[in-house]
Amino acid sequence: MVKIKAFNALRPQNRFVEKVAALPYDVMNYEEAKSMAKGNPYSFLHVDRAEIDFNEVIDPYNAKVYEKAKDNLNNLINKNIFIKDDKPNIYIYRQIMNGRVQTGIVCCTAIDDYINGFIKKHEHTREDKEKDRIKHVDSCNANTGPIFLTYKKNIEINNIIDNETKNSPLYNFNTEDGITHIAWVIEKEEIIQKLTILFEKIDSLYIADGHHRAAAAVKVGIERRKENVNYKNEKFNYFLSVLYPDKELKIFDYNRVVKDLNGLTLEKLLNDISENFEIDKLDDKTPFKPSEKHTFGMYVENSWYKLKAKNGTFSDKDAVESLDVSILQNNLLSPVLGINEPRKDKRIDFVGGIRGLDGLVERVRTDMKIAFSLYPTTIDELMRIADEGKVMPPKSTWFEPKIRSGIFIHTLN
């Protein structure tokens, strides 16, 4: 069973929400974040990426950055940009991207469900990134970025959402990337209670995105329990989440670019690749986007190639090894190009499919030597791996649209 909880949202006043809402802190670098927030004092990046407010380039893990994040959040509250609802509610958050709709429930989920395995992971986390978000949550005394969770579609939950979204929205705005964001508030206690009961019948929630935020929120809660040994139902026992039904989500491809050919000539490269892949050189200069599993595009020396994994290079019985990201890593990136630790190797970079395959070509023409396009990982694959207690290789999934930060905040007291 899964526990969800209504909460008193700290949120922007309607007239400010469009300026406040920002992409998650971890999908852009420092320069991009600074550019996005330029000229907009309300942007939530001033909270989630407070290092952009220092004149000099500062270590993002410096204590001054976390203090600045706290000050910036308090400043938004003191200026009445943010208001806090006077009762616990559940909210609905809908995004529309290129005509595709995904609608989630904004609520709090229990750190005990994460600890006990009812909220399932599919990625490893890095200690430095966990520590960063732990300090951020502690300093701000709030979950500022929601965890992106999914669950297996439930008709009764969907019916409630359909009914509630017939009401007037709380927010309705468009962001600069053309995505529509609409939110509603569920205030009626009977509806909140009904949703709570329905989620108690669901076996598991799955982290789609936000593994580091989730781990940090849980560890903050555990530490605060140590300080409050008689804890019961305090806010630090829960963290901010948006729960989407699995059938509404789309995972984009997460492609790879590599800086060099590991000392190989093109002829030697193709020969080595041919051991595990069928290779077809494409005459058409149009970037090759795989339309089925176990096929890959490769762009090198101004030409596109189609690669197809040969039988015996993987086992469909193994949930992780049968992923296309694993097949490429185990049969090409590691043995041919020498990329043995993709999480750490500086020779490889990862490009989200939202940037398009032209983005891969551009990278090869500028700072990289070879690119690979992949077929996207599926939601079913993600859930299977999480159910088996396994983890995916790094950079296996790219979700769009991204949940905007700053629309809903869960304070811890």
The model's pLDDT over 58-99, given as tens digits with 9 standing for 90+, comes to: 999 999 999 999 999 999 999 999 999 999 999 999 999 999
Residue 395 included in any domain: no
Q: Residue 57 has what pLDDT?
A: 83
Who's near 363: CB < 8 A, 6+ residues apart?
A: 257, 349, 351, 371
Q: Residue 171 has what pLDDT?
A: 98
- Is 264 found in the same domain as 245? no
pLDDT beyond 90 at 301: yes
CA distances from 344 to 126, 149, 201, 379, 394 (A): 11, 27, 40, 26, 10
Residue 121, CB half-sphere, CA atoms under 13 Å: how many?
Answer: 17
How many structural domains is the chain composed of?
2
250, 265, 297: which is the final residue of a domain?
250
- Is 158 found in the same domain as 218? yes
Residue 63 included in any domain: yes
- Is 358 found in the same domain as 336? yes
Q: Residue 60 has what pLDDT?
A: 92
Average pLDDT over residues 33-57: 95
Q: Which of 262, 392, 391, 402 is nearest to 336 (CA)?
A: 262
CA distances from 347 to 39, 189, 390 (A): 35, 54, 26
- Is 222 found in the same domain as 111? yes
- Is 164 found in the same domain as 59? yes
202, 218, 250: which is the final residue of a domain?
250
pLDDT beyond 90 at 343: no
61-75, 228-242, 344-358: least confident range? 344-358
Residue 47 included in any domain: yes
Average pLDDT over residues 173-180: 96
pLDDT beyond 90 at 56: no
CA distances from 114 to 142, 295, 303 (A): 18, 35, 46
291 beta partners = none
Q: Residue 241 has what pLDDT?
A: 98
pLDDT beyond 90 at 377: yes
For residue 148, give the 3-state DSSP assignment. Answer: strand
Q: What is the residue range of 327's domain?
A: 254-375
250, 273, 292: which is the final residue of a domain?
250
Q: Which of 169, 164, 155, 161 is nearest to 103 (CA)?
A: 161
Confidence of residue 370 (pLDDT cuts 50, 70, 90): very high
Average pLDDT over residues 99-119: 98
Q: Residue 363 has what pLDDT?
A: 96
- Is 266 found in the same domain as 192? no
- Is 76 found in the same domain as 104? yes
Average pLDDT over residues 392-412: 95
- Is 265 found in the same domain as 236? no
Confidence of residue 221 (pLDDT cuts 50, 70, 90): very high
Residue 279 included in any domain: yes
Under 8 Å between Cβ of 162 and 155? no
- Is 302 found in the same domain as 225? no
Average pLDDT over residues 301-326: 95
Q: Name the residue with tokens 């290129």.
A: 98
180 beta partners = 96, 174
Q: Residue 44 has what pLDDT?
A: 98
Residue 381 included in any domain: no
Residue 171 is inside which H or E element, if any?
strand 171-174
Q: Name the residue with tokens 């009812």.
A: 118
pLDDT by residue (tens digit) across 386-395?
A: 999 999 988 8
- Is 246 found in the same domain as 259? no
- Is 258 found in the same domain as 329? yes
Q: Residue 353 has what pLDDT?
A: 85
Q: What are 29's two structure tokens?
A: 């670098």
Average pLDDT, the chain: 96
pLDDT beyond 90 at 226: yes
Residue 352 included in any domain: yes
Q: Residue 257 has what pLDDT?
A: 97
- Is 211 found in the same domain as 330? no
pLDDT beyond 90 at 285: no
Q: Residue 6 has what pLDDT?
A: 98
- Supply angle C-alpha 352, 205, 107, rounded to 5: 90
Q: Residue 150 has what pLDDT?
A: 98
**Residue percentage of the chain with pLDDT more than 70:** 100
Q: Residue 12 has what pLDDT?
A: 98
CATH number at residue 337: 3.30.1760
Q: Residue 284 has what pLDDT?
A: 79
Q: How many CB atoms lie within 10 A of CB 283?
A: 8
Residue 26 included in any domain: yes
Average pLDDT over residues 152-178: 97
pLDDT by residue (tens digit) across 264-278?
A: 999 999 999 999 999
Under 8 Å between Cβ of 204 and 120? yes
Average pLDDT over residues 232-240: 96
Residue 409 included in any domain: no
pLDDT beyond 90 at 131: yes
pLDDT beyond 90 at 288: yes
Under 8 Å between Cβ of 146 and 240? yes
